Amino acid sequence: MMVTNALGVFMFITALIVAEGSWGSGKKRNSHSYDLSSRSDLTKLFNSKVYEAEWVTRPLHGKNKEKGIFSHSGVRVTLEDGTKWLVHKGKGNGLSSQTVVVDARHMSNKWRSEKPKNFDGKKTVSDLVKAGGTKYSLLFNNCHNAARRMMKD
């Protein structure tokens, strides 16, 4: 049973990262490789402790300004090794889940930080992905709802 669950979690995070196109460029940052093509790298990311998190927002695609719910939001996390990742939800984002993990280096300059929070390693990337949820609904389970759940203690 435990092996089945572990394999399921591995497949889940693989689908999230691959679907979002966040494969590493092979470059190193903070002496860690971010080529996430290996099972151990994916598992390591998924199990990494989140030390800082910040709710981030940006205008919707094609818009210059954001206005409340007419924006996109997610949570940018900083891990113990100093790397930053964006966990966010959107319709059509992933294969098995609409909540995905992306290397924060891929974020545009339109994102702005709001509501920083110190998790001090009490949550993992996996916890945030699970809090974001698999299904997307514009009215009842959108990016704002997901970010709010991710930021809860």
Q: Each residue of 95-109: pLDDT tens digit? A: 888 899 999 999 999
- pLDDT for position 31: 37
Q: What is the pLDDT of residue 36?
A: 67
Q: What is the pLDDT along the chain (153 residues), one digit of tens a residue?
A: 554 444 444 444 444 444 344 333 333 344 344 456 678 888 899 999 999 999 999 999 878 887 777 899 999 999 999 999 999 998 888 888 889 999 999 999 999 999 899 999 999 999 999 999 999 999 999 999 999 999 998
Residue 129: predicted pLDDT: 95
Q: Quick one: pLDDT at residue 93?
A: 82
- The confidence score (pLDDT) of residue 153 equals 81
- Tokens encoding 71: 């924006």
| pTM (predicted TM-score) | 0.77
Q: How far apart are CA 25 and CA 67, in angstroms?
A: 34
